[in-house]
Amino acid sequence: MSHDYRAQVEVAFPELDDIEDDGLRDRVREAWCLGLARGGWRDIADIPYAWNIHEVTNVEHVRGVTRIAVRAAEEQRDFHGADPDFDVVRAACLLHDVGKCYEYVDFVDDDRLDDPDPEYASGEIPHSLSGYALAHEVGCPLAVQRAIPHFIGEIPTRTLEAELVKSANSASSNAITQAAMGISLQEWVEEYSQTQ
């Protein structure tokens, strides 16, 4: 079955238009299209935020992380005089959970999927690592790649942009776990995380 993943990605993430570098924008789009195809997803909106939180989509979370990080970067620039690379921030935020295309195929109803590729689609690799690998595969700059691992600390050198992604991810995730389950992100991680 054919799916227009490019159109789905563009509709799901209007923040793509804010990436000034055309090549980087194309790479972000390409990573999502690869992830969706290999994961066998029919619709990008079917990927849940978490394996056990389906009330919020991954798209909503990724957009929230992007919005939070960009606003924080603006404050860092305007108030503190820092010089974050906004293209890197946006691209890394948009890609930070692309790995869920692979990791979450076992946690949705089969009617949301068309023939996931078993070479990729599995919960065995944490989504931050598979997202990093996707960004690398499509040729994202190292600055974007190193900002994608955001939770279990796979990359030892942290940049301003990487810290923005990490902080924004925590802020969005805390809001989602509180709204969906009445618990903090830390409580969710202690109780439900598959990557402890």
**Quick one: pLDDT band at residue 196, thresholds 50, 70, 90?**
low
Q: What are phi and psi of 193, to 5 degrees?
A: -60, 140
Instruction: Give residue-wise pLDDT tens across range 96-125.
Output: 999 999 999 999 999 999 999 999 998 888
Instruction: Give residue-wise pLDDT tens across range 63-75.
Output: 999 999 999 999 9
Measured between alpha carbons, how far is 97 from 60 in angstroms, rounded to an integer?
A: 11
CATH code (residue 104):
1.10.3210
What is the DSSP secondary-structure string of 142-185? HHHHTTS--SS---SS--HHHHHHHHHHHHHHHHHHHHHHSS-H
Number of structural domains in the chain:
1
* Dihedral sign (CA 73, 78, 84, 88): positive
Within 13 Å and on the Cβ side, how many CA atoms surround 66?
Answer: 25
β partners of residue 113: 41
Question: 53 with 177: CB under 8 angstroms?
Answer: yes
The pair of structure tokens assigned to 95 is 């890609």
Domain limits at 89? 5-192
Measured between alpha carbons, how far is 52 from 48 in angstroms, rounded to an integer?
A: 8
Please report, rounded to a whole number, the percentage of residues in the chain having pLDDT higher than 70: 94
The pTM for the full model equals 0.94
Q: Is the pLDDT of residue 153 over 80?
A: no
Q: 30: part of which helix (H) or strand (E)?
A: helix 22-39
Q: Is the pLDDT of residue 151 over 80?
A: no
